[in-house]
Amino acid sequence: MNDNFTELGAITWLWANSNLHKNWTLSLLTTNVIPAIQTKQYVLLRRDNMPVAYCSWAKLSLENEVKYINDVTSLKLEDWQSGNRNWFIDWITPFGDSLRLTKHMRELFADELFRAIRVEENSSHGKITEFHGKSVDPKLASKMFAQYHEDLMSKLSTQNNFIISKDN
């Protein structure tokens, strides 16, 4: 348990040093970080014994993926391991270690696909980005992401509060 508190402190310190995360609520930190620690679905990179990068992920069912896309604060502990649709929940690199974290994650999940909701600083809108492990053929990844997208759009189209529009 002490290790969990140490990890939580290190992750919180990274949040506080991230221009994007430092103004987010404590409630969002606990919603995003505590389940990651409890399920051991996170990576914390250090340099000279100091935390420099953090990434957490959830393995969502299609239903929980839809819930997450509609409300990024909606995930409960049981949702984090509910399926095989991989999502990076947090990606925090306030000291310029994003490339190092990218390389680490591509190695760690060499045969897997991930998506993330990326939010730019000073924006309230996010976009879905895609990642694949180092061993995944990019053409295969593209086909698999297309299928994920089709499944997601099909599920979202059944939602009363969600409108899908296509750019012409």
Residues labelled catalytic: 21, 90
Q: Say how far apart CA 12 and CA 126 lie, in whole Å.
A: 22
CA distance 28 to 33: 8
- The answer to whether residues 113 and 132 touch, using CB atoms and an 8 Å cutoff, is yes
- As given in the structure block, the two tokens for residue 57 are 């992920």
CB atoms within 10 A of CB 85: 20
**Are 87 and 58 a contacting pair, CB within 8 Å?**
yes
Q: DSSP letter string over 89-149?
A: EEEE-TTS-HHHHHHHHHHHTTT-EEEEEEE-TT-S-EEEEEEE-TTS-HHHHHHHHHHHH
